[in-house]
Copies of this chain bind each other. A is one copy, B any other.
Amino acid sequence: MITPTATAATFLALITTSFLFLFVTPPSKSTYHSLFISDSLADNTSISHHLRTLTRRPHSAGSEANAEAAAYVISVLTSSDIPSHIASYKVLLTYPLSRSLLLINPPPKQPTNFTLRQETYDGDPYADVEDEVLPTFHAYAKSGTVIGPVVYVNYGRVVDYLKLKEIGVNVSGTVVLARYGKIFRGDIVKNACEEGAIGAVIYSDRKDYGGAGEARWFPDGRWLPPSGVQVGSVHKGVGDPTTPGWASRDDDGDECERLSEDEVEQEGDVLFLPSLPVSAADGEEILRSIGGPVASDDWQGDKDAPTYRVGPGPGILNLSYTGEQILTKIDNVVGVIKGAEEPDRFVILGNHRDAWTFGAVDPNSGTAALLEIAQRLGKLQRRGWKPRRTIILCSWDAEEYGLTGSTEWVEENREILASRAVAYLNADTAVVGPGFYARATPQLDELIKRATQQVKDPENSSLTVYEAWAGSGSSPMLGRLGGGGSDFKPFLQHVGIPAADISFGKDYPVYHSLYDNFIWMEKFGDPKFQRHVAEASVWGLVALWLADEEFLPFDYLSYAKELQISTKNLESEISNNDINLSPIFKSIRELEEAAKEIEYQRKAIEESRGWITTAWKKDQLRVRELNDRLMMAERAFTDRDGLFGMTWHKHLIYGPTKHNAYGSQSFPGIDDAVNLAKELKTQESWNRVQHEVWRVSRVIRQASLVLKGQPT
């Protein structure tokens, strides 16, 4: 189609273009990245303002205050030139209508009628909005009244019940008293239910949450006051219980498919038992009513606590709970910075917004950091930066009920995300104190370490976060994302998207209590808001590199290494049984080879480039081809049939185990099968272990084939 007359114009165009290219080169991406983490862009005052604004009122999912918080998030995104919208779902939430807990003490002591209230203190600036806080409860507890002798079950784990059985204590027909910690509260209640208990009370033992010494409790100290209660959900599943596996999307007035109330109960993820969370003080009061055998040392409280006995009784608990289940609109806020070169590759940052109370730590330290990132990106945009890939910033709703906002969104967009999402980067309880913590899928390990090497440590500006994290000489440790606990779960465990969760600080005794508020953060969590600054820098920098680097900075050698460690651990755990792990070891060697190969190929592309190639982006499809392999390899760790008995969970490397949704195990399917086989001791049950070993080896092989990119 080229006529001779076009030729002169063509030459002119070419010459002009190349002049422009040579002399009007925009700042490099790395210049922008340095700027992103520079002091000139960081703004701890602004972060503090975000947090104060977001946490002014209690804002659980479905509340007016949480809608206000959503509006605030949108306003900050908008003012940072980030187009945003709300993705709403109508989901089944539960609210407490009535609660009572009566302890019938052994005579002559009078019964105790617990007030079930967390105390405010003199001068509490939030006292005027305290009545907006939901009464202490367990979301998705079953409504009902139960009366029974009380049994102390320690942390309510399977092993705890085994111990009780050893000493002849049966919990059938009793109301169990468990202490928080070790496992997910939903598992505490479910285990109790499976053991035949008729009700459950869970308290925060002061040994675990109460601290020590003078002035240890909030507002004087960082620890949970004796009246403090950890509220929370006991939902064992994921997302809206009325729409398991699909999105609760009603539009144009049309309802989506929903399970009926009966069907929800049959699914077996919610409504196990009437249960209530109580304070340390109430827990101790109940413990004092329990006789029977003295519990073993590791079941006892701190030195000032009474001696804990296991019962049953003579104390009798009369627990009454009525919750209402309501279909409620929830709002995810989604902000999108469209990628200039690869708009169809998504780097997603997310954090939830809803809180059980004020949520200064959980989750709005993360929201404040997310908004800080948004503002810095807004400033970069104004200086000419455009990301290569699309960056999506998400503020999730109803995480506390069961990761509901993120889960419904992922379920709705499953197929798009499966083919387009590069990574999901989460922050939840983003800042609770000093010290960097990260959990990630292993191909992100090196990237996260690299980011921490660029950012100043908030405790000591002469060190990098990496140096402080690594401590005295050892390599820093990353955690993994096998458990649930936050919004990375649907992305990683349902769809197979590389994921990370990034935070500062560890201990956090006021978790899910009335005292998780701005005052706590200002006094104990992050007085200078420098940890928030560092959180935003590391989190944002990881996202920026993922969005901007031409080659996706994924390292599958780390993945192979990590899998090797996990398999070695498994080997020692089951060494005395006739299980053949060589299929996994073999598949890991293949993955390692594939990881090395793709790294050579990346270098080969770079080395083959002349100036023309680079300037005119002639090999963009070649780069894309390699990146697609890196992106899709994580998907290959998923299996369509999912985990046995938990089929929504498709990832066979990282997922929850049956008896603890918090447990961050590798190979959850193998782990569950091993536990069952150790219990049943049958050949058949060990055969299932071997089958799960095969399944894991096959997904690892699928991943190495994807990295190689050629069918066999």
A interface residues with partner B (beta carbon < 8 Å):
2, 6-7, 10-11, 13-15, 17-18, 22, 25, 87, 245-246, 249, 252, 254, 256-257, 334, 341-344, 346, 392, 409, 412-417, 419-420, 582-583, 586, 611-612, 616-618, 620-621, 624-625, 628-629, 632, 635-636, 640-642, 647, 650, 690-691, 694, 698, 702-703, 705-706, 709-712
Contacts and interface: CB of A to CB of B under 8 A. Distances in A.
Contacts of A343: 625
Contacts of A18: 10-11, 14
B419 A583 contact: no
B415 A582 contact: no
B10 A611 contact: yes
Contacts of A257: 583, 690-691, 694
Given A249-B712, A412-B711, A624-B624, 10 more contacts: A6-B611, A7-B22, A11-B18, A13-B611, A254-B582, A341-B621, A344-B628, A415-B632, A417-B711, A419-B419
A526 to B, nearest CB: 32
A334 B640 contact: no
Contacts of A702: 414-415
B641 A246 contact: no
Contacts of A252: 586
Nearest to A332: B712
Copies in the complex: 2
Contacts of A647: 641
B586 A254 contact: yes
A416 B11 contact: no
A246 B22 contact: no
B415 A703 contact: yes
Contacts of A412: 705, 711-712
B415 A621 contact: no
Contact of A640 (B10, B611, B640, B711): B640
Contacts of A256: 694
A415 B342 contact: no
B2 A611 contact: yes
Contacts of A10: 18, 22, 611
Nearest to A582: B254
Contact of A416 (B341, B618, B711): B711
Contacts of A618: 616-617
Given A18-B14, A616-B616, A641 B245 contact: yes
A11 B18 CA distance: 8
Given A22-B2, A621-B341, A625-B344, A416 B710 contact: yes
Contacts of A617: 618
A711 B392 contact: yes
A675 B392 CA distance: 45
B636 A711 contact: no
11 contacts: A6-B611, A14-B18, A14-B612, A87-B712, A254-B583, A257-B691, A414-B702, A416-B706, A417-B711, A419-B632, A621-B621
A8 B76 CA distance: 49
Nearest to A642: B640
Contacts of A635: 415, 419
Given A624-B621, A706-B415, A711-B392, A640 B636 contact: no
A25 to B, nearest CB: 8
Contacts of A342: 621, 625
Given A254-B582, A624-B621, A694-B257, A416 B344 contact: no
A620 B616 CA distance: 12
Give the top 5 A-B pairs by smallest Cβ distance, nearest first. Answer: A257-B694, A415-B636, A413-B711, A344-B625, A415-B702
Max chain B Cβ within 10 angstroms of own Cβ: one of A412, A413, A611, A621: A621
A709 B611 contact: no
Contacts of A246: 694, 698
A647 B344 CA distance: 31
Contacts of A709: 344, 416, 420
A334 B711 contact: yes
A705 B14 contact: no
A418 to B, nearest CB: 8
A632 B245 CA distance: 20
Nearest to A394: B711
B711 A346 contact: yes
Contacts of A334: 711-712
A636 B2 CA distance: 41
A343 B22 CA distance: 32
Q: Which of A420, A621, A711 has the most CB of B within 10 A?
A: A711
Residue with the highest number of chain B CB atoms closer than 10 Å, among A409, A698, A703: A698
Nearest to A414: B702
A2 B614 CA distance: 11
Nearest to A21: B2
A341 B624 CA distance: 11
Nearest to A419: B632
Given A87-B712, A334-B711, A647-B641, A612 B13 contact: yes
A25 B412 CA distance: 47
A504 B539 CA distance: 60
A349 to B, nearest CB: 14
Nearest to A246: B698
Contact of A712 (B409, B621, B629, B706): B409
A706 B628 CA distance: 17
A414 to B, nearest CB: 7
Contacts of A611: 2, 6, 10, 13
